[in-house]
Chains A and B, each alone.
Chain A
């Protein structure tokens, strides 16, 4: 039976047996699936399945809408500002010596801070006076317990440095790169400011200058909220992009059908990579995806594959000593039956010697080789230095007598290991 026939046979076996094969999906699986389907469908709105759940959801929605309608009226300027002192301020500078707030004509800046529903804080600066406000606002000063005066001008006062609102600025050592991506963030320099970081992947920190490592690829929004000791806040955001790293992986083909014996085919199993660099360990390189390579010398080679992704991220894999013992063997049959039609020359290949007419070893990883075969009388009937050249059972053009012959082989594997083997083989009756 030829190689192709056997392949077809194998394919047919699987096709015929499995292509139309039916299994039994148990009632347990059916139940699990139906529940899963129900959950999935519930989440997708579908008018055909309008049921009590949707009705309840709709009722809840109406209730919420009603509550909103009767909520407290909005401010005259139209923005929904909070009425608490920390969140609504007309503050430019403080003068701690005074206990009464004094109105100035040149109010140019209004800082409005309000909490949004999600808990983040936005700082807005809008020009314009605050004419509809009282002339003076009394704001408690946390440190002294006394009241402080708000001075309407932004630059006139001597205590500007102390009093200016905090401004959050994010500095990142890198804003993109391959995972694991290590980013050094720099926040407020002033020790008196409190920093709150969220890193966009669920992580957070309250250190002023945190170090953070992103393990998973993705785009992350980093938020820094700076709060001073009066509770005034400022936020800043920045994007960090962590790219996926490819996974370098390869195998060495030992399949004779793919390559002749000395040539090694490297099979690339890398994921997420578009470019490759192979180091064959003997100073030779390749950029092919699946290169084949013939080593000129036996020895120990460490092969390295570097895989590069589209964004330039890389990963490497080194297999040490690719021709270790596992891949090196030599095996001899113990019988053969020569072709009676005449000497065949002894050359064989997997396809040409299906009838076992040539005595030859099965080898892998062999570098040097010398086979000698002797008759019982001690006569050397065959010698070969090529593992692909076996004995056809003839000596000087004459077919040899059936019986036992002794063989001896010397040589070495590519990994440098010596081969010294001996055995016997039966030449079968023809």
Chain B
């Protein structure tokens, strides 16, 4: 089946087409969800929400632009909705997380860290920081856009991004030390 066939099949709610779409993109989109979630179960929950949205809104995909990009966008939007829903309960950050976030002086060796390492440090961030960091660094949104999406102040977006960076840097350095000991 071509991509076009799959999309049309899914619009007709054809079970086979839905399964193929899931098979092709669930891995990639789970990877996206993992960046926004606190842990794997939350990411899987998010992924299911995202796929439901995808199946029921597929008719809105205009066909222009990459299909994968559209899927990712829907997934990121789902993550934002998820974040808003859970905002109330997870609004604090451990003060130790950033007071002691001193900045080291060296860069990061890419081969040194696995994707799992990076997911882990992201998962440990507080939801707000993680959201801003993801949207800015990986999704490439501007602070103004992020502020609108999350309903926060531009300055909040900026400062959360800056502190998320500092925390990540510190955590990666700690991880490097640990790895240095054990490898």
- Name A residues whose Cβ lies closer than 8 Å to a Cβ of B: 1, 3, 5-7, 9-25, 29-30, 32-34, 36-37, 40-41, 44, 46, 48-49, 247, 249, 251, 253-255, 257-258, 265, 267-269, 271, 289-290, 326-327, 354, 362
Bound Cα distance A411, B1 (Å): 75
Residues in A whose Cβ lies below 8 Å from that of B28? 20, 22
B106 interface residue (CB < 8 Å to A): yes
* Known contacts A17-B118, A326-B95; 17 further A-B pairs (Cβ under 8 A): A6-B107, A9-B107, A14-B122, A14-B138, A17-B115, A22-B27, A22-B30, A23-B27, A29-B44, A30-B22, A33-B47, A36-B48, A40-B52, A40-B56, A49-B13, A290-B153, A326-B99
Query: How many residues on chain B are close to A (CB under 8 Å)?
Result: 57
A381 to B62, CA, bound (A): 73
Contact partners of B34 in chain A: CB under 8 A: 23
Task: Take A22-B27, A25-B26, A25-B47 as given contacts and tell me if A13 and B153 are in contact as well, using a CB distance cutoff of 8 Å.
Answer: no
How far does the alpha carbon of A46 sit from the alpha carbon of B55 in the complex, in Å? Answer: 13
Cβ distance A289 to chain B, nearest Cβ, rounded Å = 5
Q: Which residues 140-171 in B have Cβ within 8 Å of A in the complex?
A: 153, 155-156, 159-160, 162-163, 165-166, 168-169
Which residues of chain A come closer than 8 Å to B26, judged between CB atoms?
25, 29-30, 33
Query: What 0/1 pattern do residues 116 to 156 of B give for CB contact below 8 A with A?
Result: 00110010000010000100011000000000000001011
Give which listed residue, B95, B108, B119, B162, contacts A9 with CB less than 8 A: B108
Complex Cα distance A17/B155, Å? 28
Q: Is the CB of B166 within 8 A of A41?
A: no
Contacts of A267 in B (CB 8 A): 156, 159-160
Residues of B within 8 A of A6 (CB): 103, 105-107, 169
| A-B pair number, CB within 8 angstroms | 140
Given A6-B103, A10-B168, A254-B99, the answer on whether A33 and B51 have CB atoms closer than 8 Å is yes
Contacts A33-B48, A267-B156 known; A19 to B138 CB distance under 8 Å? yes
User: B-side interface residues toward A, CB under 8 Å?
Assistant: 12-14, 18-19, 22, 26-28, 30-31, 34-35, 44, 47-48, 51-52, 55-56, 87-88, 91-93, 95, 98-99, 102-103, 105-108, 110, 113-115, 118-119, 122, 128, 133, 137-138, 153, 155-156, 159-160, 162-163, 165-166, 168-169, 172
**Taking A14-B118, A22-B31, A32-B48 as contacts, is the C-beta distance between A37 and B55 under 8 angstroms?**
yes
